[in-house]
Structure 1
Amino acid sequence: MDDHEVAVCRLSHRPGRDDRMTTHVGLTARALGADRVVFPDNATGPAETVEDITGRFGGPFDVELNASPKRLVREWPGTVAHLTMYGLPVQDVEADLRAAHAEEPLLVVVGGEKVPFEVYEHADHNVAVTNQPHSEIAGLAVVLDRLFEGRELDREWTDADRVVVPKATGKEVVEPDDGE
């Protein structure tokens, strides 16, 4: 969108059990302004799905498989924001996240199964969207929207094979040359 890169890292993935959740982390990251998503290397199905959606509905957006997402968190060359219900309220840290994003790359970390304490320690910000249990996908959506202050909702997509035409009722999807 602007400023430096925003990447989203899904820490863990249990094939079969987490396929839909991991896929939705990637789709939410893409739709709400991140530049790329990093999945554990065993999340090949979700990676293929997000790449397919990007191919059909446009980008740019990158999908990466990584053998050690925890190492990525440790070695990230910018700011790390870990989403957790135990963190500080997003409304208290969103200005800090925007300022950091203006200066350096931002990594937004989304957990999976039990998150090791080292992730909390390596994070520059442990961020909560409420301090109540709920979906990490909802938390990611709120954090990205707060980070971009709603600008991601007007994003222009390139290289799309399909474009959704906004309608009050009904559904319409066209090829870019057929209706834009």
Structure 2
Amino acid sequence: MNINVLRLDHRIGRDTRITTHVCLTARAFGASKVWLAGEEDHSMMKSVKDIANRWGGDFEIEYNNSYMEVIMNWRENGGKIVHLTMYGSQAHEIVDEVRETGEDILIIVGGAKVSTKVYKNADWNVSVTTQPHSEVAALAIFQHLLMDGKEFDLEFENPVFEVIPTAHGKNVNIHDENRKIHKEE
């Protein structure tokens, strides 16, 4: 199962930080790509690419102002669509159904106001809570459920930086041109 994320209605200046967090969360929890719709933000996209390059793995971010084109292409290629919204079915009740399709999944996270077209074109409108909340939180929770906790075991190829889990302090391996440098603080 390949997971992509579509971030709707990005606004430069207002949404840069939250959209960056959507991208980093998507990547950390197993998505291979984020599609960005709304205003094209070259600086934010470059920042996300730079972070992904330093921390390893294959991760893409691509701009397409026509979010409906992304949705329709995804559907035409046989993928399934999950729209995260506080108005949907409860995530923990439908995640097995989503996972068991075995199909590639496009997870849509909203912007300022989500069009009815998005709700109608989703295979599942999914809620992680019925209260106002962050799209970053919703994405992390849903991807965690979808991955069934396997995101903790993800390995990202060719990282420059690699965190070594430790109870206290910071333990980071820095890989530089095939030399492994160990740094601990």
Looking at structure 2, the residues matched to 111 and 105 of structure 1 have their Cα atoms a distance apart, in angstroms, of 20
Q: Which residue of 1 aligns with 2:16?
A: 19
Q: Does 1:94 align with 2:91?
A: no
**In the TM superposition, what is the alpha-carbon distance from 1:43 to its structure 2 partner?**
2.6
- Letter of the structure 1 residue corresponding to residue 106 of structure 2: L
Give a deviation string over 1:19-76, Cα, whole Å, max 9, x none.
Answer: 0010000000000011111112613222112111111111121111112122211331
Task: Select the structure that is richer in strand.
Answer: 2
CA contact (8 A) 1:11 1:70 kept: no
What CA RMSD, in Å, does the superposition of the two structures yield over aligned residues?
A: 1.5
Partner residue in 2 for 1:47: 45
Q: CA deviation at 1:138?
A: 0.4
Indicate the percent of aligned positions where both proteins have the same amino acid: 43
- Superposed, which structure 2 residues align to 1:80-119 within 5 Å? 80-100=81-101, 102=102, 104-119=103-118
Deviation beyond 6 Å, 4+ runs, structure 1: none
Aligned to 2:56: 58
Counterpart amino acid of residue 58 in structure 2: P
Q: Could you give the per-residue CA deviations for residues 97-130 of structure 1, whole angstroms, max 9, x where no partner exists?
A: 1012x1x211000001100000000000000001
The unaligned stretches of length 5 or more in structure 2 are none
* Residue 178 (structure 1) shift: 2.5
**In structure 2, what is the Cα distance between the partners aligned to 1:69 and 1:43?**
15
Aligned amino acid, residue 98 of structure 1: R
Structure 1 unaligned regions, length at least 5: none
TM-score (norm 2): 0.90
How many residues were matched structurally? Answer: 175
Structure 1 residue 9, shift from structure 2 partner: 0.5
Higher Cα radius of gyration: 2
Q: Letter of the aligned partner of 1:92 in structure 2? A: E
Q: Provide the secondary structure at the position in 2 that maps to 1:63.
A: strand
CA distance in 1, matches of 2:41, 2:150: 30
Question: What is the CA–CA distance in structure 2 between the aligned matches of 1:52 and 1:143, rounded to whole Å?
Answer: 25
The alpha carbon displacement at 1:133 in A equals 0.5
**Farther off after superposition, 64-73 or 126-135:** 64-73
